[in-house]
Amino acid sequence: MKISNGVDQIKSRIDILSLVSSYIKLDRVGKSWKSKCPFHNEKTPSFFVSPERESYYCFGCGASGDIFTFVEEFEGLDFKGALKLLANRAGVTLEVYNKEDQKNKEEKENQKERLYGVMEEATKFFESNLKNNHKALEYLKSRGLENKTIKDFRIGFAILDWRKLYDYLKSKNFTDKEIESAGLAKKPDDASKAMYDRFRGRIIFPINDSSGRVIAFSGRILVDDGQSAKYLNSPETLIFSKSAVLFGIDKAKDSIRKNNFSILVEGQMDLVLSHQTGYKNTVATSGTALSDSAIGKGNVISNLGLVRRLSPNIVLSFDADKAGFNAANRAGKIALSLGMDVKVAALPEGVDPADLISKNGAEAWKEAIRKSIHIIEFILNKVLKDSQNDARKAGREIKEKILPYIDALQSAIEKMHFIKKISDASGISESALQDDLKKIEIELKSEKKEIEEIANREKKVSKKDYILRKLFGIILWQKSLKEHSMDEDKVLRELALILNVEKEKVLAKTKEKESDLIFEAEVFYGERGDYLSRDTEELLANLAEEYLKEKLWIKMRELHQSEETKDTAKSKLILKEISEINNKIQSIKNKE
């Protein structure tokens, strides 16, 4: 079956309402359904789903589209990843749509697809190595892993050899550039020498994107040589961004939605054993940005934002050592700022979730999750225990370590609740705590603003950008064909007019994404030429409307400023311009 037909089949089997409601709770409003937007933080629902139009739209951030764009944005996938996920869900088998022969097809395969290919081959190679390495298998079994878990997570082994993987991938016709770009091999300083493997003598844990494609690896050393790092992770690549994925998210997402909470652990063993005990709603930070104490706030927000879309409730279970406590603190404060309900599963000193499960069994882990408490209570208990009846020390620790968490809470009622709880437990008056909290609020004002700005930047989806992407794809696709279905040059001219740039500059920034853009257009219109002209006209009209709305917003601000300065002449002129813009918008709507 061709992918173009596959798109139609997917749309016929999965309607927008059933898809979106499987991710978030929707309430009916007339013919539409509404919810709080999953793509930006809001208090009042402004996200609407229209079964009649088979689309969604957020009046708050502009997020809009169909089932494909929703999955792309919600799951953090590219179009091909969303296509794969929805095809699996709909039970549709996809075959690549391409009129050229196999040889030409292979030559034209884009860089990202080749990287997915090399990562898949590397995974198979590592899996095969593990089956033949008794010592590595024994290590995994000694940690409590079952054969099914090893197979499900595709755990493998990298042989302690300089270029076993490199030689294998070369035999599969991958180039040096592709192997290096995937982060699997490095170039030596001496250019005359061959490349060498990044991962050697390590247990390999594949990191998948939300649709299940292998995008990176995290390797744990099997025999400590006293020189190598215990863990080694893939570098950032074209297909792997540390801030855009959490280890195990592909296997955990359905369970997080179903159980309405996620469990965040540090290590790979913590995660696989938690899944093995039945807690499939567990994700891990190992191999991703959250585990790196040197990262900026943006990566943490992006990672936490990923699970927040699935559920606002999270249980942190990091190692009980100082590094684990600091990591939990950092993640916890930002999670509270994002409006999440954050609990901590307390573990015995020096014990991580994997140790707890291996030594004490699944029931001990279940009990730790069941007895998890709010992060503020958790830190309060720790501060009071460490202070040992030293009231002055307790007061200083509460101000430094707990009040910043109170400040991060979005609800004033919650703030009052925890202020009272701290007061009752410590003997410090509520008024004194409130006074110090006001000082903290001033000190952390810029930090809170930074978190809010990053969060909004991460979540905001631009309708304008989506339309431009589709139009670029259509133009580039038509240019690549011998027989054109439409006059793409005419579309290019109209687009240049809307963007107010020279025609030659319209496609200037599309070169790196050209193959992806062509693929998307080919998928949608390859065998549906009758839709192409109509959809292109509609996209151009929608884009013109979006630009006019932006212009209108700017003019409204200018009007407000001129009215404040009582500049009557300027206000009159701006009002005329506003009227003209509104007339143009209405003209577009009338044509629709």
pLDDT at position 291: 36
Q: How far is CA 432 from CA 386, 419, 425, 428, in A?
A: 21, 10, 14, 7
* 86 and 115 both lie in a single domain: no
Nearest to 358 by CA among 440, 274, 258, 291: 274
* 228 and 130 both lie in a single domain: yes
CA torsion through residues 381, 385, 389, 393, sign? negative
> CA 212 from chain center: how many Å?
14
- In three-state secondary structure terms, 446 is helix
pLDDT at position 583: 87
Residue 174 inside a domain? The answer is yes
Residue at token pair 């359905």: 254
pLDDT at position 101: 40
Cα 532 to Cα 516: distance, rounded to the nearest angstrom: 18
* 92 and 161 both lie in a single domain: no
Cα 307 to Cα 257: distance, rounded to the nearest angstrom: 9
pLDDT at position 18: 92
Cα 302 to Cα 457: distance, rounded to the nearest angstrom: 10
Residue 43 inside a domain? The answer is yes
- Quote the domain boundaries for residue 428: 375-458
Residue 521 inside a domain? The answer is yes
Residue 216 inside a domain? The answer is yes
pLDDT at position 262: 95
pLDDT at position 324: 59
Report how many domains make up the chain.
Answer: 4
Q: Domain holding 170: CATH number?
A: 3.90.980.10
Residue 419 inside a domain? The answer is yes
Q: Domain holding 96: CATH number?
A: 3.90.580.10
* 14 and 89 both lie in a single domain: yes
pLDDT at position 285: 82
* 93 and 147 both lie in a single domain: no
pLDDT at position 228: 83
- CA geometry: angle at 573 spanning 568 and 574, to 5°? 95
pLDDT at position 99: 45
* 436 and 404 both lie in a single domain: yes
DSSP state of 290: G
Contact 516, 112 (CB under 8 A): yes
Cα 299 to Cα 457: distance, rounded to the nearest angstrom: 12
Contacts (Cβ under 8 Å, ≥6 apart) of 404: 333, 440, 444
pLDDT at position 224: 85
* 150 and 234 both lie in a single domain: yes
Nearest to 217 by CA among 307, 288, 145, 284: 288
pLDDT at position 451: 63
Residue 364 inside a domain? The answer is no
Q: Return the structure tokens found at 592.
A: 């629709």
* 114 and 234 both lie in a single domain: yes
Q: Which of 458, 481, 498 is the last residue of a domain?
A: 458
Cα 592 to Cα 552: distance, rounded to the nearest angstrom: 20
Q: Which of 101, 134, 165 is the last residue of a domain?
A: 101
* 78 and 195 both lie in a single domain: no
Cα 517 to Cα 469: distance, rounded to the nearest angstrom: 7
Nearest to 67 by CA among 120, 104, 20: 20
In one-letter notation, the amino acid at residue 256 is I
Cα 414 to Cα 42: distance, rounded to the nearest angstrom: 18
pLDDT at position 294: 30
Q: Which of 85, 101, 117 is the last residue of a domain?
A: 101
Contact 47, 58 (CB under 8 A): yes
Contacts (Cβ under 8 Å, ≥6 apart) of 367: none
pLDDT at position 139: 95
> CA 82 from chain center: how many Å?
13
pLDDT at position 297: 40
* 72 and 147 both lie in a single domain: no
Residue 345 inside a domain? The answer is no
* 92 and 189 both lie in a single domain: no
Q: Return the structure tokens found at 341.
A: 């309900």
Residue 228 inside a domain? The answer is yes
Low-confidence residues in the chain, pLDDT < 50 = 1-4, 97-109, 291-301, 458-461
Cα 93 to Cα 98: distance, rounded to the nearest angstrom: 16
* 162 and 219 both lie in a single domain: yes
Cα 528 to Cα 11: distance, rounded to the nearest angstrom: 14
> CA 103 from chain center: how many Å?
35
